[in-house]
Amino acid sequence: MDRYIEQAVEEIPQLIGIFVTAMPDSLLFSSWVRPGTEWAAEDVAAYFGDLIRSNRQGLKALGAWSSEMQVTIESAESLVVLRELSTDFVCGCVFERSAPLGMVRLHLKRLLERLTHALPKVQPEDRPRGTRIMEFLDRYAPDPHAVALRVSLRAGISLDELKTPATLTMDQIRRLEETACKILGVNQLSL
């Protein structure tokens, strides 16, 4: 996969980074960033995955979702385009802000076609909910350094038990989820 990405970026000088995220867990599958760019690829891939998921849910709520949808973000310094490659993968491309939009679309079309062909067919693993909740907290809790302690205290689950969230009981997972919602200030977790 990395080989395909490297070949693809040679043709696009204004590309700063590509992140392929495996869904539904928003885990980094593959990436490339321009030399000298100090981004944490795992984090970026995770945020991009979550962004696409929220976008998908929002559009579904509006009855306007289609698998062809694309998210374009124009920030002060970069142009970010997110696209679902398949139900299992999301691709996020970061361009220089000065890149002409028409050129970006053209490059993107070719790039995504090549990546789509290179992607494996996967059977997503049904990962334990406890693990996914802890990972979600890790990404979004305001004080991630203290989140395990906070969860332990609030949910009454020991720190040792939280070290293996896959083995939590149903009741513990319910308490964990309630606590996560409280810590994040949301009504439900988008997992």
Partner 1 sequence: MAITDLRALNAEQSLTFLAGIPYVYHCHHYNLFHDQTIDDALGEEEGARVRTVAAHNAFRELLTAIFDKAEATTPAERINLASEVFAWMGQGKLMLDVTAAGGRARSASLHYGYAWREKYGSRVKRSEPCDAVAAGFASAATELAFGLAWDGITAKEHKCLATRDAECELTLETATSQLASPPIDEATVRRYVVPPIRGVDEDRIAAITAGLLEFMRGVQGDERGLVAAFNVFVTAHLPSYYNETVYETVHRIERTQAGSVPAIEALMREAGQVCVFNTFGNVLLSPEWEGLVGAPTGVPSDVMSFCTAIARGLGFGHWLVGSYEPRKRLVLRATSNYEVPFYRSRYGLAKKPRSYFVQGAALAMMLLAETVKWTERPQLTNEYYIELFRGKPRYHVEQTQCMMRGDAISEYVVDAL
58 touches partner 1 (CB under 8 A): no
CB of 171 to partner 1, least distance (A): 15
What is the SS3 assignment for 13? coil
Smallest distance, Å, CB 146 to partner 1? 5
71, 154, 173, 189: which one binds partner 1 (CB under 8 A): 154
Beta bridge partners of 28: 21
**Least distance in Å: CB of 153 to partner 1?**
4
- Rounding to the nearest 10 degrees, give the CA dihedral for residues 53, 72, 10, 26: -10
- Residue 19's CB is within 10 A of a number of other CB atoms, namely 28
Query: If you write DSSP's letter for every residue of 33-79 in order, what string do you get?
Result: E-TT----HHHHHHHHHHHHHHHHHHHHHTT---TT-EEEEE-SSEE
Least gap, CB of 79 to partner 1 (angstroms): 22
Q: Which span (77-85, 120-128, 167-175, 177-185) binds partner 1, by CB under 8 A?
A: 177-185
Segment near partner 1 (CB under 8 A); pick from 6-14, 89-97, 137-145, 164-172 = 137-145
How far apart CA 151 and CA 176 sit, in angstroms, is 7
Is residue 158 within the footprint of partner 1 (CB under 8 A)? Answer: yes
In the complex with partner 1, which residue's Cβ is closer, 35 or 185? 185
Count of residues making up the chain: 191
Distance CA 118, CA 145 (A): 37
Count the site residues for partner 1 by CB under 8 A.
Answer: 18
Q: Which is nearer to partner 1, 100 or 156 (CB)?
A: 156
Cβ-contact 191, 132 below 8 angstroms: yes
For partner 1, the binding residues (CB under 8 A) are 140, 142-146, 149-150, 152-154, 156, 158-159, 183-186
